[in-house]
Chain A
């Protein structure tokens, strides 16, 4: 177990005007499971490769347990990585692949065999030890790739989108497995993904990235309930947060038919409310309400997604069960104004501390 301290990390690539990673500062506590999440091209994989030592930063430092990783080659870093494409050696059998990191680190042969069979047992791949990667299914390959990382009990685990090559059902299954496995080992983990479900379910903390910069770090709950930027607000959660352009004048924030009272706010801003906070029907006291037209209804069984047009502001509501209005209905929606988030209207979209109340 080890602390990972990343400070002011910047990586520029030739022929690219903007840095792939700019000024990333992130500290991962010993034994912490940190998920780095963001859309493709946000710099999350770049950051991971820098920690692994597969790439050198232009600026900034990485310390593992207080030891600088500058110019330390990957083989001397004591970090293990699970690759997106698994990177299993095609000419080796599973047994050899699992033993390889031990062999390279000169573990005695007898110990090697024991550790390999222990690890294989832990991952449920004991029966596959004599197969080659070409003879394994996607899920089995994924498990072998994890086993390869696990065998040497490294200080730091790195995961680079480990589930993205699997189908949805398997992904959900292995996601849970990874979670319990890593928690059991208690290892410091950096897990890169673009999937917000993986981020929410696996991480002790989540680091949300966008365009090479860190937008927010926090526990899943903090990040979900208090997103620092408009991007974070819409990236986490499905369906994503309803975000509308709004104006402020004469103590009133207006977006379509939605009107809220505020004492102070910029003239132009964005307001957002999560789909699960929108209800349909008569508004109780103190709740904000607005008139809207139902434009689409998507019943999913456990819940129904209702698309609403509130005077130009497009909203989605997430209602339980099948109980929902039909398309074309004029309805009244309501929500708790305390659940409304306000963001600056510029590209950065920083969270605004605006107190909103019902009219």
Chain B
């Protein structure tokens, strides 16, 4: 085993990351935990209220509503971007200048800033002037604008998010596809598998680690959604797009309810922690038997 020359060295190496983690993650989380026990509006002195921020959060139904909104949004984003990303990756997994151009175009959306994307799509989704908005209006969906309807706004935002991050899923899936040896497909073809059989018995199982990775990262992205909501709907109409990061923002900067916001932070931190553990477990399961290829 490698031994450090000085016992402090390993800690010194860890220090930069540790400092960043403490200052920007652990400390704020601690502060939020502390604040969640107080009622504070930023102006008058904080007042200790015990667990009432939490009970209010549960009792008012706000927590469940926000959770429902967030999960619906995430579900659409994760499934949509993974499915589209995989399909696109398989379509562009071939050499050629034109295909390269398509690849770069699809990925470029991922590089554009969220705010630009949000503004662009507000225009595209406009029921009167937007190409996409008009198309949907003609189909009878969201005649007064997709973003204006409480039943459509969340899906419209999810659609925009899918549009933006699909390029990323595509690139990761593309890397995963190119990692599968061509010999596997040749062997499968000689074994009698047609193109569907080859996808189902070779591509899909061998992509499992990639799928797990894309799923995790798009889930993280979807949980962090804020910019699109802030720019396009501000949580409306009728709170239908108030995903949890935005809900926390609303409590702090619009309603000046820091205690309630902090309680929400803590609750969602616990939920995300659980989700991460679940993902880690699924990831390990997916990795089994793949160590040596």
Contact = CB atoms under 8 A, between A and B. Distances in A.
In this complex, which of A80, A90, A132, A152 has the most chain B Cβ atoms within 10 angstroms of its Cβ?
Answer: A90
Interface in A85-144: 85, 87-91, 100-101, 104-105, 132-134
A100 B208 CA distance: 19
Contact of B187 (A77, A79, A83, A132): A83
B289 A132 contact: yes
A85 B182 CA distance: 11
A89 B187 CA distance: 9
A79 B202 CA distance: 20
B293 interface: yes
Contacts of A52: 186, 190
Given A83-B186, A87-B186, A134-B289, A75 B194 contact: yes
A91 B187 contact: no
Contacts, number: 75
A90 B293 contact: yes
B289 A79 contact: no
In this complex, which of A73, A74, A79, A133 has the most chain B Cβ atoms within 10 angstroms of its Cβ?
Answer: A74
Nearest to A83: B183
B289 A87 contact: no
Nearest to B183: A87
B108 to A, nearest CB: 30
B190 A81 contact: yes
B interface bracket (residues with beta carbon within 8 Å of A): 20 to 34
Given A101-B192, A148-B191, A85 B186 contact: no
Contacts of A267: none
A100 B200 CA distance: 12
Given A85-B181, A100-B201, A104-B197, A91 B290 contact: yes
B291 A104 contact: no
B192 A104 contact: yes
B184 A89 contact: yes
A75 B189 contact: yes
Contacts of B193: 75, 100, 104
A338 interface: no
Contact of A54 (B189, B194, B208): B189
Nearest to B192: A104
Nearest to A77: B190
A75 B195 CA distance: 10
A91 B290 CA distance: 7
A290 B186 CA distance: 56
Contacts of A81: 186-187, 190
B205 interface: yes
B290 A90 contact: yes
A330 B143 CA distance: 106
B186 A134 contact: no
Given A81-B187, A105-B192, 17 more contacts: A52-B186, A54-B186, A74-B189, A75-B191, A75-B192, A77-B190, A83-B186, A85-B183, A89-B188, A89-B201, A89-B206, A91-B205, A91-B206, A101-B190, A104-B192, A134-B290, A134-B291
Interface of B: 181, 183-184, 186-194, 197, 201-202, 205-206, 208, 289-293
3 tightest CB-CB pairs across the interface, nearest first?
Answer: A104-B192, A87-B187, A134-B292
27 contacts: A54-B189, A75-B190, A75-B197, A79-B190, A81-B190, A83-B183, A83-B186, A87-B186, A87-B187, A89-B188, A89-B201, A89-B205, A90-B293, A91-B289, A91-B290, A100-B188, A100-B191, A100-B201, A101-B190, A101-B191, A104-B192, A104-B193, A105-B192, A134-B291, A134-B293, A148-B187, A148-B191
